[in-house]
Amino acid sequence: MLEGGLLIAIYVFVLAGFIGFEVITKVPPTLHTPLMSGANAISGITIIGALLIVGSSDGLLTQILGVAALILATINVVGGFMVTDRMLRMFRRDRGRERSS
Amino acid sequence: MTLDLDLDIIILSAYLVSAALFILGLRYMGSPATARFGNTLGASGMLLAIIVTLINEEILRYELIIAGVLVGGVIGVFFARQVKMTAMPQMVAVFNGFGGGASALIAVSEYFRLYDAGTEMSLDTSVTIMLGVLIGTITLSGSAIATGKLQEVITGRAIRLPLQNILSAILFAVIIGLAVSQIAFEANPIPFVALIALCLVLGVLLVMPIGGADMPVVISLLNSYSGLAAAAAGFVIGNPILIIAGALVGAAGFILTQIMTRAMHRSLANVMFGAFGAGGGGAAASGVAEGATVRTGSPEDLGVLLAYADSVIVVPGYGLAVAQAQRQVRDLADLLEDRGVDVRYAIHPVAGRMPGHMNVLLAEVDVPYDRLYDLDQINDEFERTDVAIVVGANDVTNPSAREVTDSPIYGMPILNVDHARNIIVLKRSMSPGFAGIDNPLFYNEKTSMLFADAKDGLNRLIEAVQEN
């Protein structure tokens, strides 16, 4: 598949991991649940793989596996981003406190 | 689909934009004020990646795609709308499992595509397929068990087979053996299917012996795995956006796992293989003096104490969520704030069933996020605080973690509730917490116990405060 690309793919993986580490370390504990469900939605990126398989393969078995993957990944993407938004909408600042201080 | 760098330049550029949007989105998650925007950025990145993938000329069968996306979309919307905030850990566990399952399915279908075509699999391809299957299926079945435990369909207690760890190790060795034989010799579907089945069993075996109280660690770890599974699928089909997004999620889960194990003062290996809370134990050291007595307070007296305090810190634990008493806590806090009392909340990292869970539960009942403080921010404040109210929390307030070197929880970071001038502990009974040990805080001379269900006890405190 990747031929000479495998090493580059590993570079990409490792560097993206470091970026993730740096960025996510700064997320405060208050937001850890939305962070996790949001990250979860991002891991639904496998939807791309599922789309390619369903869209381009001919065999019955690969089609079935692909559609199953597509459904699971779509649940992950749609449900994940929506529920994260639902949670984040609830977080609000203390207006009363601003008034008193 | 076996191409990577031959992919259309437009598609690859769009994937790069998606990756940037994911990273920026996670960055904006760094503050509650911008987090919603960050989530929208992440969703936009995903949408962009999906759209450019669909314009790919390889894609021919749009009917099946539309059907799959519709089914998945409807289910996703249903989940996202219906789930209760208390059930958020189960939902995340289910989604982790789906993510892992989808990645595994991609690896499996790539295997069969190449097998059917009679193509010789290169070393890279077969290694990454095996990795994708291994991580993805373990995530799938492990998450299923974690969901069952969180939903209490499966007992939350640690279930251990005899020789559990040895059994898992043997199973793992067999799986690796099967995988190596697929890689080194020719692809053979029958052992490959056996390998998938054994991976599913391994996922079950790995999560079964982990107790309910350790679920925050398990969910975080499975979150990390679901990311790694996506990255592995990216290696299989040679797609950089899967690799990048997967690595980001893998890192997120890894950091949360670390935070959770540190909050419990245990190693990951101990959580995974130590079977904490499996029972037995016997009398553990707790630092409670022989003959120490517990003082109970009447709601009326405690109401007076609260009503005339200057500062109050509320320490919520999972017992609060079980009793569904978040609203009562907020009502009590509102009442006190109206009287000029400074009310803050001290949230231990493992106060809920997943990282940050308690914060979401309190946000749901309109507790402002800037009143929620984590351990490091608030621990020095207790000594300047008139009253600390502990509601449904136990082990995370146990001073023996600080003082008694042979206590099983020694070294665990705790909230220094015992430093407050007065302490109210609202609890149903004297029963110990998950660690199964006595809590000297309850015997502290500054502590008044109020034995009641959280909702009931808080309502009585509210009435008492109102009378002052």
- CATH at residue B376: 3.40.50.1220
Whether B62 is covered by a domain: the verdict is no
Q: Average of pLDDT values for B215-231?
A: 93
Flag whether pLDDT at B460 surpasses 60. Answer: yes
- List, in order, residues 6 or more apart from B65 with CB less than 8 Å away: A51, A54, A55, A70, B54, B59
- Within 8 A of B248 by CB-CB distance, chain A residues are 16-17, 19-20, 23-24, 39, 42
Instruction: Nearest by CB to B124, from A6, A42, A48: name it.
Output: A6
- Pick from B256, B273, B290: which residue ends a domain? B273
How far is the alpha carbon of B48 from chain A, nearest alpha carbon, in Å?
A: 11
Segments forming the whole domain that contains residue B369: 299-466
B157 and B92 fall within a common domain: yes
Segments forming the whole domain that contains residue A30: 5-90
Look at B324 and B6; give whichever has higher pLDDT: B324
How far is the alpha carbon of B118 from chain A, nearest alpha carbon, in Å?
A: 13
- Within 8 A of A12 by CB-CB distance, chain B residues are 240, 243-244, 247
- List, in order, residues 6 or more apart from A89 with CB less than 8 Å away: B36
What pLDDT, in 10s, does the model give residues B254-274? Answer: 999 999 998 888 888 888 777
- Are the C-beta atoms of A17 and B250 separated by less than 8 Å? yes
How far is the alpha carbon of B251 from chain A, nearest alpha carbon, in Å?
A: 5
B318 and B420 fall within a common domain: yes
Whether A101 is covered by a domain: the verdict is no
Residue B395 designated active-site: yes
Using the beta-carbon criterion (under 8 Å), do B237 and A13 form an inter-chain contact? no
Whether B74 is covered by a domain: the verdict is no
Residue-level pLDDT at B233: 94
Give the pTM.
0.89
pLDDT confidence tier of residue B2, bands split at 50, 70 and 90 = very low
B235 and B372 fall within a common domain: no
B250 and B304 fall within a common domain: no
| CA geometry: angle B372, A93, B262, nearest 5 deg | 30
B237 and B159 fall within a common domain: yes
Q: Is B309 helix (H, G, I), strand (E, B) or coil?
A: coil
Residue-level pLDDT at B407: 81
Domain count, chain B: 2
Q: Could you give the CA distance from residue B51 to residue B173 in angstroms, rounded to a whole number?
A: 42
Whether B205 is covered by a domain: the verdict is yes
Whether B355 is covered by a domain: the verdict is yes
Domain count, chain A: 1
Using the beta-carbon criterion (under 8 Å), do A40 and B71 form an inter-chain contact? no
SS3 per residue for chain A? CCCCHHHHHHHHHHHHHHHHHHHHHCCCHHHHHHHHHHHHHHHCCHHHHHHHHHHHCCCHHHHHHHHHHHHHHHHHHHHHHHHHHHHHHHCCCCHHHHHHC
Q: Could you give the CA distance from residue B339 to residue A8 in angstroms, rounded to a whole number?
A: 63
Percent of chain A with pLDDT over 70: 89
What radius of gyration, in Å, describes the C-alpha atoms of chain A? Answer: 19
Whether A37 is covered by a domain: the verdict is yes
Q: Could you give the CA distance from residue B290 to residue A34 in angstroms, rounded to a whole number?
A: 45
B96 and B185 fall within a common domain: yes
Q: Average of pLDDT values for B334-356?
A: 91
